[in-house]
Amino acid sequence: MTSAPNRKTTAPSVLALSGGIGGAKLDLGLYHVLKPWELAVAANTGDDFEHLGLTICPDLDTIMYTLSGTSDEVRGWGRQGETWACLSQLKEIGGSSWFGLGDKDLAVHLYRTELLRQGKPLGEITGNLFASFGIKAQVMPMADQPVGTIVHTTDGRDLPFQRYFVEERCAPGVRGFTYQDAETATPPTALLAMIRGGNLRAIVICPSNPFVSINPILSIPGIREALAASKTPIVAVSPLIGGAAVKGPLAKMLAEMGLPASNRSIADQYKGLLTGMIIDKTDGDDANNQLEMPVLAVNTLMNSLEDRKRLAQDVLEFADRLGE
Ligand code: GDP
């Protein structure tokens, strides 16, 4: 009798918690430096919204277009080679056109919405979509149920995230955030099993906005608790460089809430979870005096694919050292 052939394991070894733009950059780096199936991603869906009767999941789609190499790197969002026939027709007939919906992108929203209407869970639909884009990483929404990030403004309004972000262009001052219906949402079984299973090499909190990308994920019952109890090294990469966000309203939000735009403020959002933190090398002083945990200061600005891969490698090596 011959011995059993070596069985190839296809279980993920690294879990990333991710928002859209900053998150997807590091997801892509990890996807390149790992075997494709070794990466699992839990993605924020607090930004999801209904538009023209369609369910739109901006962060999931950004990750899908990024990992499949079909995103428009110049524009910074949406699909390469996109066309806009539907949107321009909508404009002509006086329809709602404030949200930039390309034709190819539209097909994804149509597909997702149709299956949701048939009662399919978002996680399953997401799995189908990513597979159809040829992506081998296991990318999951943070929950199958809708959870909405609400922005509480200094002028006393409670704005759904897309109204704050797209319609009002982040102009209103921010007092705080809630994650509507999070308490009744359930995390993916596979996600909890992965965190609790103890077989992961690293858990990475991507350089995403804590308030509108990562905290929504942590608000789903069971996820924060599972992470806090995990023995796997948990490493966060700061989305701030020199006290400024690379893109988006994070520094403005921190200031409006009376918090310093510092790596310490980011670490505070993940209290009780982190084994270590990666900050930009220009913020190296924070390592000594601000953050009471192991810190690695490297170049965290990801302009090129090489930058993304190098940072991903730094994250993995740092996590490996922390896990020794
Ligand atoms: P969203 O869901 O589309 O808002 O995207 P994320 O929350 O994932 O990403 C937004 C954050 O990414 C911002 O706070 C940026 O500062 C951060 N970010 C974007 N590009 C980079 C980068 O190259 N390096 C680092 N360190 N942060 C980045």
List pLDDT tens digits, range 190-205.
Answer: 999 999 999 999 999 9
pLDDT of residue 287: 66
pTM of the entire structure?
Answer: 0.95
Flag whether pLDDT at 290 surpasses 50: yes
> What is the rounded CA–CA span in Å between residue 136 and residue 11?
11
Going along the chain, which residue ranges are E strands? 14-18, 39-43, 49-51, 54-56, 138-141, 148-153, 158-160, 174-180, 202-205, 234-237, 240-241, 244-245, 276-280, 295-298
List pLDDT tens digits, range 246-256.
Answer: 999 999 999 99
List pLDDT tens digits, range 115-134.
Answer: 999 999 999 999 999 999 99
**Torsion angles phi and psi, residue 309, rounded to 5:** -70, -40
The answer for residues whose C-beta is within 8 angstroms of residue 108's C-beta and 6 or more apart is: 61, 64, 129
Q: Are 211 and 177 in contact (CB under 8 A)?
A: yes
Report CA(209)–ligand 1 centroid distance (Å). Answer: 6
- Residue among 139, 145, 177 nearest 19 (CA): 139
Flag whether pLDDT at 1 surpasses 90: no
> Cβ of 124: how many Cβ atoms within 10 Å?
11
| Rounded average pLDDT over 89-110 | 94
The dihedral formed by the CA atoms of 227, 229, 231 and 233, expressed in degrees to the nearest 10: 30
Smallest CA separation from ligand 1 atom 27, residue: 239
Residue 251 Cα: closest atom of ligand 1: 14
The dihedral formed by the CA atoms of 220, 15, 211 and 165, expressed in degrees to the nearest 10: -100
Indicate the top mutation candidate among 27, 209, 305, 315 to test ligand 1's pocket, ranked by most ligand atoms within 8 A of CB. 209
So where are the chain's domains?
14-50+138-322
Report CA(70)–ligand 1 centroid distance (Å). Answer: 19
List helix spans (H) across 142-262: 161-162, 189-197, 215-218, 223-229, 250-256
Q: Are 142 and 42 in contact (CB under 8 A)?
A: yes
Residue 165 Cα: closest atom of ligand 1: 4
Q: How confident is the model at residue 286 (pLDDT cuts 50, 70, 90)?
A: confident
* Residue 185: both structure tokens together: 């949402």
Class of domain 14-50+138-322: alpha beta
Smallest CA separation from ligand 1 atom 24, residue: 301
pLDDT of residue 99: 86
- Residue among 2, 3, 20, 36 nearest 217 (CA): 20
pLDDT of residue 167: 86
Averaged pLDDT score across all residues of the chain: 95
Ligand 1 proximal residues by C-beta, below 6 Å = 19-23, 25, 59, 207-209, 213, 237-239, 241, 245-248, 250, 300-302
